[in-house]
Amino acid sequence: MANEYAYIKKQDKKVFEAITGEEKREAEGLELIPSENYVSRAVREANGSIFTNKYSEGYPGKRYYGGQKYTDVIENIAIERACKLFGAKFANVQPHSGAPANIAVYFALLQPGDTVLGMDLSHGGHLTHGHPVTYMAKIFRFVRYKMKNPETGEIDYKALRETAIKEKPKIILAGFSAYSRELDYKKFVDIARELGAISMMDAAHIAGLIAGKAVKNPLDYGFDIMTTTTHKTLRGPRGGMILVRESEEIAKAIDKSIFPGFQGGPHMHILAAKAVCFGEAMKPAFKKYAKQILKNAKAMEEVFRKHKIRMLGGGTSNHLILADVYGSLGVSGREAERALDEIGLTLNMNAIADDPRKPMDPSGIRFGTPAITTRGFKEKECREVAEIMIEALKNKDNSKKKKELHARVRKLSKKFPIPDKFV
């Protein structure tokens, strides 16, 4: 890796070894966690840039410290690109990550005790949508909707509307981290408008697919707010962002909520990396990338279907698959995660809808194609990975077989090194 870590190497052997160890791990294995990706060298350069030195509390043109000539340039570029990329009028690019972005929205628009209607965690929702273990659940009231039928993934919109009428949520929240189908955005927005609620989409997982026009853009259907991470399918630095489609009043409340309400100074080096990432996402090559993510997920779906493995939602319309490996193969999610890890495939165990097993050892695994697509995998390689996965699960106690499969994973990884640039 050239001289990238020359100073750390001299100064801090232990940290240097961990970094190079991780570099090797990422290069030799295959990343199937659907919320992870490999960023470009340009994004990493911005991420590691001198802007980490700078305090810039406030917003462009309205800072609480001097010396903001270049920070303003960076933040304005990031905002302008974000708005253009997602068709929003306002963007706050300062959230430190996806969770703080959601929290800042709640505090911008709600009083303690107010109600949010969101997707049930066990049906694909996210912890930050009011799971009882989170602090937000102590402050606001979260009520839930679910899928009507886990075999098709369709949301029970009728029950959603009835719950909304009964519970009077101030925010109706769409979005997920373990759901493989596309939502009917219009239905969410219609129900929110009918009942005078604010509609919010958490696009953390699919922002890159939206930016690359591989899936629908929720903002086109009238969502008031869209939050996202920037490090998942969008392929940028670890961070968050809040987009507001049209309302200046909401945008102002959100800016105040992020700072001074919730965060201190923005991480300007991350904002620089976000700007670079948005620039990459505007290029035609990114559209191709986003579309290939979907094609690759479909290719894996076909293999799982051929082997009669149950998939929640019956398959995938996005970048991820949730497979009921316990129900189909008698291998628990935890066992599957471990067996695949041993052959160089990284993914995570996941609860499935109405899971008969416990969260710490659920029935499912969740995996996706954003990272391997970045490595250049096409349908053929994705089918091979799916075949390897299933063979490994069927032979999880056969170490000779697993050695053989590990060698196949290594060969694929070698053939598709992590690229330095995409545009």
- Binding-site residue positions for (6S)-5,6,7,8-tetrahydrofolate: 121, 125-127, 248
Does 128 contact ligand PLP by CB under 6 A?
yes
Is 166 part of the annotated catalytic residue set?
no
Closer by beta carbon to ligand PLP, 231 or else 245 = 231
C-alpha to C-alpha distance for 119 and 250, rounded to whole angstroms: 23
Q: Which amino acid is at 260?
A: P
Please report whether residue 175 would count as binding ligand PLP according to CB under 6 A.
Answer: yes
From the number of C-beta atoms within 10 Å of its C-beta (0-12, 13-18, 19+), residue 251 rates as buried
- Residue 293 Cβ, how far from ligand PLP at the closest point, in Å? 15
Q: How far is the CB of 247 from ligand PLP (least distance, A)?
A: 22
Q: Which of 98, 150, 208, 237 binds ligand PLP (CB under 6 A)?
A: 98
| Region near ligand PLP per CB under 6 A, out of 69-77, 170-178, 263-271, 319-327 | 170-178
238 catalytic per annotation: yes
Residue 151 is a catalytic residue: no
Contacts of 211 (CB under 8 A, 6+ apart): 85, 86, 234, 281, 282, 286, 290
Of 81, 123, 126, 406, the one binding ligand PLP by CB under 6 A: 126
Is 57 a known active-site residue?
yes
Residues in region 203-262 near ligand PLP by CB under 6 A: 204-205, 229, 240
* Nearer Cβ to ligand PLP (202/324): 202
User: Rule CB under 6 A: is residue 99 a binding residue for ligand PLP?
Assistant: yes
Nearer to ligand PLP, 297 or 329 (CB): 297
- Do 211 and 219 meet the contact criterion of CB atoms below 8 Å apart? no
Residue 202 a catalytic site member = yes
Query: Of 34, 301, 274, which Cα lies nearest the Cα of 176?
Result: 34
Interface residue with ligand PLP among 75, 202, 224, 355 (CB under 6 A) is: 202
Q: CB under 6 A: which stretch of 74-82, 108-116, 141-149, 173-181 binds ligand PLP? A: 173-181
Cβ-contact 229, 257 below 8 angstroms: no
| 94 vs 88: CA distance, rounded Å | 16
Is 373 tagged catalytic?
no
Torsion, Cα of 217, 301, 239, 88 (10° steps): 0
CB of 315 to ligand PLP, least distance (A): 20
Q: Which range of residues in 76-84, 97-105, 283-291, 412-420 is near ligand PLP by CB under 6 A?
A: 97-105
Angle subtended by helix axes 98-109 and 248-256, to nearest 10: 110
Residue count of the chain, please give it. 423
What is the footprint of ligand PLP within residues 8-37 (CB under 6 A)? Answer: 35
Rounding to the nearest 10 degrees, give the CA dihedral for residues 187, 188, 191, 195.
Answer: -170
In 3D space, the residue among 109, 101, 153 whose CA is nearest the CA of residue 128 turns out to be 101
Q: Which of 219, 122, 217 is nearest to 176 (CA)?
A: 122
Give the annotated binding-site residues: 121, 125-127, 248
Instruction: With CB under 6 A as the rule, give the number of residues binding ligand PLP.
Output: 15
What is the x/- site pattern for ligand PLP, positions 34-73, by CB under 6 A?
A: -x--------------------------------------
- The footprint of ligand PLP (CB under 6 A) covers 35, 97-99, 102, 126, 128, 175-177, 202, 204-205, 229, 240
- Please list the active-site residues: 55, 57, 202, 229, 232, 238
